[in-house]
Amino acid sequence: MSNVHHLINGQAVHAGRMADVFNPSTGQVIRQVGLASIETVREAIDAAQAAFPAWRNTPPAKRAQVLFRFKQLLEANEANIAQLISEEHGKTLEDATGELKRGIENIEYACAAPEILKGEFSRNAGPSIDAWSDFQPIGVVAGITPFNFPAMVPLWMYPLAIACGNTFILKPSERDPSSTLLIAQLFHDAGLPKGVLNVVHGDKTAVDALIEAPEVKALSFVGSTPIAEYIYTEGTRRGKRVQALGGAKNHAVVMPDADLDNTVNALMGAAYGSCGERCMAISVAVCVGDQVADALIAKLTPQIKALKIGAGTERGLDMGPLVTRAHMDKVIGYVNAGIEAGASLLVDGRDFKVPGHEEGFFIGGCLFDHVTTEQTIYKEEIFGPVLCIVRVDSLEEAMRLINDHEYGNGTCIFTRDGEAVRLFCYVIEVGMVGVNVALPVPVAYHSFGGWKRSLFGDLHAYGPDGVRFYTKRKAITQRWPKRASHEASQFAFPSL
């Protein structure tokens, strides 16, 4: 059995307590990962701090050259990376490949470092005075990433942070660490200097060490809302810049004029893709009118029952297992709670078994009808293949219901009505909105993030907001007086 090591100052470091890494399709331990101690995290911080001065002074064009080579190496190793993701997370190979490609898009954006870091210049802002803005790196920054996207979410963070001249410490999920580590090693193979990117695996000990270290100037986080709020509170209390992306409860509004066949196809992928373990997963379908709800259920039910579910490393599947046995039990507990609360379970996936993989962490797709806003399955993020149908009488009621929810990550509307779309996009209190698009994940040159308790901090992830997060703006005003000129002192505040 192999061990997953830390990557510090360009070298493998074997240190710390050990934790098991499972293959969710078999339920068997396949690797062990070291959990960093405070001393191991300190070693990574020291390496990043030592590497910062030289990397900060590396021209952005040279940083971009390393990123271009990194992108090429990821593309060349796509199959191997997808295999590792599927082995440890459980998602299908096709889904794992798609995740990696979306991550590579962020590297492509970061390759534009010479452009995005140019700054701004104003000649003759005043008499013989020039002014400009310079975008400078922060220093040592860190990222804490979740299990559900072990390739993509880290690539939201460190390529851009490093392109901006910072050095980085990544604390990925200890549940599926191998693909994340391989990707970081490939970055070094692309020519990244030692210490610019460091990877430490771990649990709360490692997280708290990063929060408490004064040398770490900024923290990026993606995960659950309670942890996001904790990291934001503790980080900002210590004067750090923090962006902490939390949980979600994403609603899809289905209008009476929606193309139901396209709506069903979109909802199937959005609700059940990656076994529902996505912060952008649609977990509530808000149907405007009973007729819409009945028609939608009639089309969804046979497709949910026909989902092709199996080991993620097999081709041609719709869904793999959940990531751990504990999470599988948690999702089943939510389904049980929904039944007890009076919701109608139309499709029950609790007893689903895959022949030959009886010990795997599998659950079939579940569908609830007549879900109310007071029920736990409506209020809380399940993070599993469970779709809830809520019935309302109008678009206004649907929007009010969504706006009243504590989360505001993503939402979408299915309709042919442009007036309804215009109203929905303006009124809805959600950070990412789709129009006939179930998973409105922004492309790399926009930015990703929700509202309300789905995001703690002022700046979203990657894209233009990512550049702002990983840099400090410096405004410079200069004047070169003409020779042999002597001007009287000015005591009033300078102006034109």
CA dist., res. 367 & res. 177, Å (int):
32
Residue with tokens 């233009």: 464
Q: Is 341 helix (H, G, I), strand (E, B) or coil?
A: coil
Looking at residue 487, its pLDDT comes to 65
How would residue 15 be classed by pLDDT, with cut points 50, 70 and 90? confident
Looking at residue 358, its pLDDT comes to 94
From 153, 223, 146, 225, select the one nearest 452 (Cα to Cα). 225
CA dist., res. 230 & res. 228, Å (int):
5
Q: Is 279 a catalytic residue?
A: yes
Domain made up of 2-246+454-476: CATH architecture = 3-Layer(aba) Sandwich (3.40)
As a whole-number percent, the residues of the chain with pLDDT over 90 amount to: 92
Sign of CA dihedral 155, 158, 160, 163: negative
Looking at residue 125, its pLDDT comes to 87
Looking at residue 480, its pLDDT comes to 85
Reported as a single tens digit per residue, the pLDDT across 299-358 is 999 999 999 999 989 999 999 999 999 999 999 999 999 999 999 999 999 999 999 999
* 113 pLDDT above the threshold of 90: yes
Parse the chain into domains and list their residue ranges: 2-246+454-476, 250-435
Reported as a single tens digit per residue, the pLDDT across 437-496 is 999 999 999 999 999 999 999 999 999 999 999 999 999 999 887 776 566 677 777 666
Looking at residue 2, its pLDDT comes to 82
Instruction: Please report which helix (H) or strand (E) contains residue 65, including its range.
Output: helix 60-76
CATH number of 250-435: 3.40.309.10
Choose, from 111, 164, 275, 279, the residue flagged as catalytic.
279
131: Cβ–Cβ under 8 A, 6 or more apart, which residues?
121, 122, 125, 475, 476, 477, 478
Whether this prediction's pTM lies above 0.85 is answered by: yes
Note whether 108 and 159 are within 8 A (CB).
Answer: no
Per residue, what are the HEC states of 363-402? Answer: CCCEEEECCCCCCHHHHCCCCCCEEEEEEECCHHHHHHHH
Mean pLDDT of the region 37-53: 98
Residue with tokens 């019935």: 391
Note whether 210 and 219 are within 8 A (CB).
Answer: yes
Relative to beta strand 241-245, strand 455-456 is antiparallel
**How would you label 198-230 residue by residue, b for 16+ Cβ within 10 Å and e otherwise?**
bbbbbeeebbbbbbebeebbbbbbbbbbebbeb
Looking at residue 496, its pLDDT comes to 62
Mean pLDDT, the chain, whole residue set: 95
Asked whether this chain's domains 2-246+454-476 and 250-435 adopt the same fold, the reply is no
Q: Is 213 helix (H, G, I), strand (E, B) or coil?
A: coil
Query: Dihedral angle at the C-alpha atoms of 224, 229, 235, 239, nearest 10 degrees?
Result: 140
Looking at residue 332, its pLDDT comes to 98
Which tokens is 253 given? Answer: 């509004």
CA dist., res. 208 & res. 439, Å (int):
33
Looking at residue 488, its pLDDT comes to 67
465: left (phi > 0), else alpha (psi -120 to 50), else beta? alpha
From 227, 228, 249, 221, select the one nearest 406 (Cα to Cα). 249
CA dist., res. 400 & res. 467, Å (int):
34
CA dist., res. 345 & res. 206, Å (int):
41
**How would you label 414-431 residue by residue, b for 16+ Cβ within 10 Å and e otherwise?**
bbeeeebbeebeeebebb
Note whether 257 and 350 are within 8 A (CB).
Answer: no
Q: What is the CA angle 472-478-483, rounded to 5?
A: 165
From 259, 266, 324, 249, select the one nearest 295 (Cα to Cα). 259
Residue with tokens 């007071």: 374
Strand partners, 333: none
Reported as a single tens digit per residue, the pLDDT across 181-237 is 999 999 999 999 999 999 999 999 999 999 999 999 999 999 999 999 999 999 999
Residue 245 CB neighbours (<10 A): 27
Reported as a single tens digit per residue, the pLDDT across 381-421 is 999 999 999 999 999 999 999 999 999 999 999 999 999 99
